[in-house]
Structure 1
Amino acid sequence: MSQGRDDAGRYEETVTEQDILKVFDYEDDPVLTASEVAEGLRRFGKQITREGTRNRLNQMAEKDLVSRKKFGARAVGWWAEVAPELTEATAEIVDSRKDTDEWTEL
């Protein structure tokens, strides 16, 4: 069995759509290239190639999770159309503070 494949030889999905959306949430620039998304994923400890990132972004575009625009012959910019889901712990904190003024830190 090679790295990244399951027992049947199929590629295992180790990077989720939420992981990719989180990269857009953490970056200062709202429009990123596939290479920048792949680099952002590496900062979160996720390994994926630029080609793999492009494939995943294209799949996510079909679901209207991200959008793209060509900026030249080969340059494509991507942006998130939705925010990543909150972790369960963060969602509980947000829910507990929804009727208060305690919004300075999560």
Structure 2
Amino acid sequence: MAGRKPTVTDEEILSIFESHKDPFLSTAEVAEELDFSQQGTIKRLQALESEGHLRNKNAGGSLIWWLSSEQ
């Protein structure tokens, strides 16, 4: 991935989903947990989706994310 060196590992991002009580999280919720901008968070989540770790859906104008059963 081009750009700034990630300060949070993919495993740390995935652990947010694994430890959260809800089965899915919005981009804003993940961004808040990471203390990242929503734009930066979307890029990281999209990368994890392309690797098969996450799935997403547009719900009410917001992207929601959940762990893929393929991981």
1:65 corresponds to which of 47, 53, 59 = 53
RMSD of aligned residue pairs (Cα, Å): 1.5
Q: Which ranges of 4 or more aligned residues in structure 1 deviate by more than 4 Å?
A: none
Higher-Rg structure is 1
- TM-score relative to the length of structure 1: 0.57
What is the percent sequence identity of the aligned residues? 33
> Is 1:81 equivalent to 2:68 in the alignment?
yes
**1:76, distance to aligned residue in structure 2 (A):** 1.2
Classify the secondary structure of the residue corresponding to 1:15. coil
Aligned length: 67
| 2:58 counterpart letter in structure 1 | K
Structure 2 unaligned blocks of 5 or more: none
Ranked by relative contact order (alpha carbons within 8 Å, sequence separation 6 or more), the top structure is: 2
Structure 2: which amino acid aligns with 1:59? Answer: A
Looking at structure 2, the residues matched to 12 and 66 of structure 1 have their Cα atoms a distance apart, in angstroms, of 21
**Superposition deviation, residue 23 in structure 1:** 0.6
Aligned to 1:99: none
| Structure holding more strand per residue | 2
With the length of structure 2 as denominator, give the TM-score of the two structures.
0.81
